[in-house]
Amino acid sequence: MTLPLPPGFLWGAATSAFQTEGSLAVDGRGESVWDVFARRPGAIEGGADGSVACGSYRRWPEDLALLTELGLGAYRFSVAWSRVMPAGTGRVEPRGLDHYERVVDALLARGIVPVLTLNHWDMPQALMADGGWAGRGSVAAFAEYTRAVADRLADRVEWWITQNEPWVVALLGYQLGLHAPGVADLRASLAAGHHLLLAHAAGAQVLHGFPRTRVGAALNLLPCVPATDSPADAAAARGSDGYCNRWYLDPLLRGGYPADMRAHWERAVGDLDVVHDGDEAAIAGCTDFLGVNYYTRRVVAAAEPGPGRPFPWRVVGPAGDLTRTDDGTEVHPGAFGDLLVRLARDYPGTPLLVTENGGAFGETPTHDGRVHDTRRIDQIRSHVAAMAAAVAAGADVQGYLYWSLLDNLEWAMGYRPRYGLTYVDYPTGRRTIKDSGRYYAELVRTGDLPEPPAVAPFG
């Protein structure tokens, strides 16, 4: 099957700084919220932290060599805010910028397009003195940080992602306390989500002062489907979609927060005084492309609000004998294709860049030294096929960046889940390209979908 993709389509892979770099106390790096969160007993599975991770701060030339070996044309990585501004604002640490400049120059020398993320969840801990993302001062701090990075790199980097998955930061970091900084406060989560969007706008304003920059935010989008055909479940799915998706999509791409979700928030927390006059106008119209992170769909049923449930819906999960990843996530490529078509329909004229897609599959090296991860191969094939069908239906998808290039620290789940095209032996740091990486390389090389090994296809 030849893929009907546009000329110049970006095939690549993605990582983030905290999940891969290690070397937390070198070259003047300050503490991030994840450094502090990891020291909480039980916060990260197995007592893990990011002190070593994949060792990529030192071993980055090996990682770039992997990209070349796989024939990939783009690499999404993140800059660690704490390496550039150890206190979040003020003094700029040149050694941090020197490191990322070396990475960018080496990528360009290899003919690989850098896709640079500014905030992949690792805010400097010093900014928690003002509430972190729940404090409005975070917006000015992010703009200052963006200026420092752009002054050094915007002459060579075209693709910029300001924020990674603001809904996840707000939900897990500030509403449920399951991610850094470990705050559990509904109103704080509302403020955090809003300030992340405002910071996107402030960063975009800085970046648009440089020629040829393209600025987007990467949203973790979850197609929300009703558990049954009942009107109540349909309304619940619509509400959940407002909470996960439209609360971020609409201000970025339509000019303001959706009215139905405003009403849900007002019932839950009262006045939305965190949204000041002029904020929605500032957020609107500054996004050049939308980053799409897709992993699965969300099956929702109606439910009465109560303790721990501020909104009238609950996630019930899909029923039946389904294909799942090792962490229990349903694999549903059809929802991915439908999502891309929906984005093209609801937000016309918005270029889309798939900034993450993947799954946790834990195969390890066998007696021959190879990693035969046939499940990941089928995940790649089925999702790329769904993306190609969406492009044929009119979705303006300009690239696909697989998550992840490397097995890495999967946040609060520690090192157990493996998402990489490359197996990382954590005690030694040794990298081994998995069979899925070889498959992906062949797909990229030929522009076709190679036949997978003989395994049951995903539905």
Q: Name the active-site residue from 31, 165, 280, 330.
A: 165
Name the residue with tokens 């992993």.
295
To the query of whether residue 93 is one of the catalytic residues in this protein, the response is no
Report the relative pairing of strands 352-357 and 289-294 from DSSP bridges: parallel
Do the bridges between strand 74-78 and strand 422-425 make them parallel or antiparallel, or are there none, so unpaired?
Answer: unpaired
Rounded Cα gap, residues 254 and 280, in angstroms: 10
Where would I find the H helices in 17-55?
Answer: 17-20, 33-38
Q: CA-CA distance, 429 to 431, in Å (whole number)?
A: 6
Which pair of tokens denotes residue 365? 């090296």
Q: 424 and 433 in contact (C-beta within 8 Å)?
A: no
Tell me how far apart the alpha carbons of residues 403 and 417 are, in angstroms, rounded to a whole number: 12
Q: Which two tokens stand for residue 70?
A: 């796989």
Q: Contact, 250 vs 197, CB < 8 A?
A: no
Q: Please name which of 422, 436, 416, 297 lies closest in space to residue 375, comparing C-alpha atoms.
A: 436
What ranges make up the beta strands (E) of 261-312?
Answer: 289-294, 298-302
| Residue in 31, 280, 356, 363 annotated catalytic | 356
> What's the token pair of residue 189?
């989560």
Q: What does the block give as tokens for 360? A: 């946790």
Please, which residues bridge with residue 219 across strands? 292
Nearest to 131, CA basis, from 72, 45, 195: 195
Tokens 């989560």 correspond to 189
Contact (CB, 8 A) for 439 and 68:
no
Give dist(CA 432, CA 424) in Å, integer.
7
Give the separation between CA 114 and CA 104, rounded to whole angstroms: 6
The residues that are catalytic are 165, 356
